[in-house]
Amino acid sequence: MKTPPLRVLAVESSCDETAAAVVANGREILSSVIASQVDLHAQFGGVYPEIASREHIKAVYAVVNEALQQAHLELGDVDGIAVTRGPGLAGSLVVGANMAKALAMSVDLPIIGVNHLEGHIYSSWLYAGGSAPTPEPKFPLVALLVSGGHTELILMREHLTYQRLGGTVDDAAGEAFDKVARLLDLPYPGGPSIQKAAQEGSPRAFNFPKARLSEPFNFSFSGVKTAVLRTVQDLRAQGKTLPIGDLAASFQAAVVSALYEKTMDAARQFGAQDIIVAGGVSANKALREAFRSQTQFKVHIPHISLCTDNAAMIAAAGYQHLARGERDNLDFDVLPTWYLTALV
């Protein structure tokens, strides 16, 4: 790569968002464009893989062009290409990977395939173009990764090194939000719907149980989901109207308190300087407030627009690899399953 500013163009297409972005020095967002398919998939109550990959094909060229235009750059001005290699839907990943390979080949740029979860973590390094840089996360740090498919507690002692402290033994936190929303007849995606409904209810209306687990940093959300289901069934059997706000607020409080308490415990036990909270569920207001209400650790939570899938986070992670001289060959395959971490 050239000397600074190192501008990385990234493509993300692992699920139902087609995204492209240009980021300078792994931190400053010069552009970030997202074409979401969420409305298309809402009718199925989840992502329909075959439709997702075909929508990526239609959108990816325009999204990449838009990202370059918004950054006021030509492809030749870029120093490297990053693309989500996995985990995700195979057919969707292939579309982004092939676009990124074509871009790299056409102007002979280095390319790197990035782990999507690593991207979520590196969203904490990003700041808006033209504004003052935000403080960089300091190591060692504990990262809580809470998304639609993952719930992981990770210890990072330095850049690009990940030790898994624990994670969910059943549903991911985002998945639990989505399933409980469906139970309460709230629209997809469930996280934002539950958050909205919870504003009208009390987090103390129902006492949903916390999971007891032998491993201190593991999570389980299937128990709380079943408790909501039983409560709904009982109320319906009694012919009562469902107190949607109370159910949503109490469920949200149970999930937030498990996530918050275990992350704080892990940060204390491993002597962390900072905490990172990332992934789609980090957009949750109650979760953000829980972490912001404490003063023991500096907590980095991405701007709401960077919590769910985007390409700026892939550029931020890709930059770290490219700056270390790592490159992929143009024949790399996508990795629909790709674990980020080894167990401590």
Can you give the binding site for Mg ion, defined by CB under 5 A?
147, 309
Binding mask 266-285 for ligand ATP (x = CB under 6 A): -------------xxx-xx-
What minimum distance in Å lies between the beta carbon of 7 and ligand ATP?
25
Nearer to ligand ATP, 227 or 256 (CB): 256
The minimum distance between CB 147 and ligand ATP, in angstroms, equals 3
Q: Pick from Mg ion, ligand ATP, none: which does 178 bind, CB < 5 to 8 A by kind?
A: ligand ATP
In the three-class reduction of DSSP (H, G, I as helix; E, B as strand; rest coil), residue 86 is classed as strand
d(C-alpha 321, C-alpha 327), whole Å? 8
Residue 34 Cβ vs ligand ATP, minimum distance, rounded to whole Å = 11
CA angle 320, 135, 191 (to 5 degrees): 80
Closest separation in Å from C-beta 62 to ligand ATP: 21
Size of the chain, expressed as the number of residues it contains = 344
- Please say whether the beta carbons of 319 and 25 come within 8 A: yes
Q: Give the number of residues in contact with ligand ATP, rule: CB under 6 A.
A: 23
Minimum CB–partner distance for residue 175 and ligand ATP (Å)? 6
Nearest approach in angstroms of CB 325 to Mg ion is: 27
Does 148 help bind ligand ATP (rule: CB under 6 A)? yes
Q: Which of residues 4-63 bind ligand ATP (CB under 6 A)?
A: 15
Contacts (CB under 6 A) with ligand ATP, residues 149-168 = 149-150
Cis peptide leading into residue 110 (ω within 30°): no
Q: How far is the CB of 283 from ligand ATP (least distance, A)?
A: 4
For 113, phi then psi, to 5°, come to -90, 130
- Output 18 or 147, the one with its CB closest to Mg ion: 147
3-class state of residue 270 by DSSP: coil
Q: Are 255 and 177 in contact (CB under 8 A)?
A: yes
Q: Can you list the alpha helix ranges (DSSP code H) found in the chain?
A: 38-42, 49-70, 90-106, 116-122, 173-183, 190-198, 222-237, 244-269, 285-292, 312-323
Q: Which residue has the tokens 């504990």?
A: 142
Helix, strand, coil percent values for the chain (each to nearest 5): 40, 20, 40
- Which residues fall within 8 angstroms of residue 85, CB to CB, at 6 or more apart? 93, 97, 113, 114, 115, 328, 332, 334, 335, 338
Q: Is 14 or 320 the residue whose CB approaches ligand ATP more closely?
A: 14
190 binds, among ligand ATP, Mg ion, none (CB under 5 to 8 A by kind): ligand ATP
Please say which residue, 181 or 272, places its beta carbon nearer to Mg ion: 181
Choose among 12, 36, 160: nearest CA to 95. Answer: 12
Least distance between ligand ATP and beta carbon 251 (Å) = 11
| Near ligand ATP in 185-204, by CB under 6 A | 189-192, 195
* From candidates 116, 225, 262, 321, binder to ligand ATP by CB under 6 A: 116
x-marked contacts with ligand ATP along 72-111 as a string, rule CB under 6 A: ----------------------------------------
By CB atoms closer than 10 A (0-12, 13-18, 19+), residue 295 is exposed
Q: Roughly how many angstroms between the first and final C-alpha of the chain, as a whole number?
A: 34
Residue 308 engages ligand ATP in binding (rule: CB under 6 A): yes
149 versus 245: smaller Cβ distance to ligand ATP? 149
Residue 27 dihedral angles phi and psi, to the nearest 5°: -135, -45
Residues that bind ligand ATP (CB under 6 A): 15, 116, 120, 147-150, 174-175, 177-178, 189-192, 195, 279-281, 283-284, 308-309
